[in-house]
Amino acid sequence: MSAVAEDGPLQDPAALASTARQLLVAAGMTSEMAEDVAAVLLEADLLGHRTHGLSMLPNYLERIERGATACKGDLEVLADGGASFAWRANRLPGAWVMRRAIREVLARVTSHPVITATIADCAHIGALQAYLKPITDEGLFVTLATTDPGLASVAPFGGAEPVLTSNPVAYGIPTLGDPILIDHSTSVVSNGSIAAYATRGERTPGPWLLDGQGHPSDDPACLGQEPPGTIALLGGPEFGYKGFGFSLMVEALSLGLSGHGRSTAPSRGGQGVFLQVIDPAAFAGREAFLRETTALAERCRASRPRAGGPPVRLPGERALANRARHLAEGLPYSRQVLDSITDWARRLGVEKGL
């Protein structure tokens, strides 16, 4: 998730969320759904994941309009074993489904130390990192993996044909200080990041892609050619089998367990999700866990930086600093994003433009 739209005028986060909520309600969402979706998009912006923030709102509204995201209906419970549950979401809004799942997991973890949940076919859940902190704040370790089986942009290692996609996975690790909030794709970069280079007509800074023959490429346009290129796996030509392994893990957990995968060639727009929360109290104890994670974080931060480099940062550290700064100072948005939201406001008869 790379930077887009960071150079415009500063906006008030609360006002932006309010506008987003009104637009989502006008498009057909319940106020509860709109609340969750707006909050998660805004949270992604606050953390600095601008490709997954309110710049996605027009796309979300468009998906509602053509019925690709459902605003009515309820979650289907496929299985419920107390410490585990499996839902099918039938394209209901991802952020709303995810927040319900997290409330459920947090309620159950008081009775079972490990809660494991899967969600089949829910609409886009956005930036995984946006969901982690409320869980790590409870002293819990969290794993969150997702992918969209209707999307293929990454080849298996050694292949030249798209089968997988960026398949992100996130881990939240509590410490006595700030949590470690890991969130990254198992390809070198996300689909959104490549799309941003394509939109700007730029080459990628390195060979982040493979062309249709499987040769390294820095041309985002190769994704749209015939045969299509692919995004390189984490590890590249030499160690991409490791990115492949992690990618397969994400597929098995989020699509295999949820039962909604690539076998039926589903249309784009429905994600499978794997969510697991672990309470360290059931193992060597919360105190021992926090002692170890805190010592680890401190040792990493105290580690001598590479020659001429900045101090070592932990995953999530910059995101949490972004969040604090953006809440205090406001969030910058490009004119393009603001205009697009204003267009939608006009179209949906919502007074508040930007």
Tell me how far apart the alpha carbons of residues 171 and 132 are, in angstroms, rounded to a whole number: 8
315 lies in the site for a copy of itself, by CB under 8 A: yes
163 part of the interface to a copy of itself, by CB under 8 A: yes
Give the orientation angle of helix 335-347 with respect to helix 57-65, to 10 degrees.
30
Binders of a copy of itself in range 102-161 (CB under 8 A)? 112-114, 116, 118, 120, 141, 155-161
Contact 229, 210 (CB under 8 A): yes
Q: Candidates 8-16, 98-106, 312-320, 321-329: pick the segment binding a copy of itself (CB under 8 A).
A: 312-320
Give the amino acid at 64: I
Cβ atoms of residues 165 and 152 within 8 Å: yes
* Site size for a copy of itself (CB under 8 A): 91
Nearer to a copy of itself, 18 or 213 (CB): 213
Q: Does the footprint of a copy of itself cover residue 258 (CB under 8 A)?
A: yes
204: DSSP letter: P
Which residues in the 288-307 window bind a copy of itself by CB under 8 A?
288-289, 291-296, 299-300, 303-307
Is the Cα torsion angle 243, 246, 250, 251 positive or negative in sign?
positive
173 forms part of the interface with a copy of itself (CB under 8 A): yes
Binding mask 68-97 toward a copy of itself (x if CB under 8 A, else -) reads: ----------xx-x-xx-x-x---------
- Closest to 36 (Cα-Cα) out of 91, 123, 92, 99: 99
- How many residues appear in the chain? 354
Residue 11 gets which letter from DSSP? E
CA distance 29 to 217: 41
The two three-digit tokens of residue 123, written as one number: 């609409």
Region of 8-16, 42-50, 176-184, 327-335 interacting with a copy of itself (CB under 8 A): 176-184
| Residue from the set 227, 325, 335, 353 that interacts with a copy of itself by CB under 8 A | 227
User: In the window 177-206, what residues touch a copy of itself (CB under 8 A)?
Assistant: 180, 182-186, 188, 206
CB of 57 to a copy of itself, least distance (A): 28
Question: Please, what is the minimum distance in Å from the beta carbon of residue 353 to a copy of itself?
Answer: 38
Query: Would you say 299 or 346 has its CB closer to a copy of itself?
Result: 299
Whose CA is closest to 211, among 160, 164, 141? 160
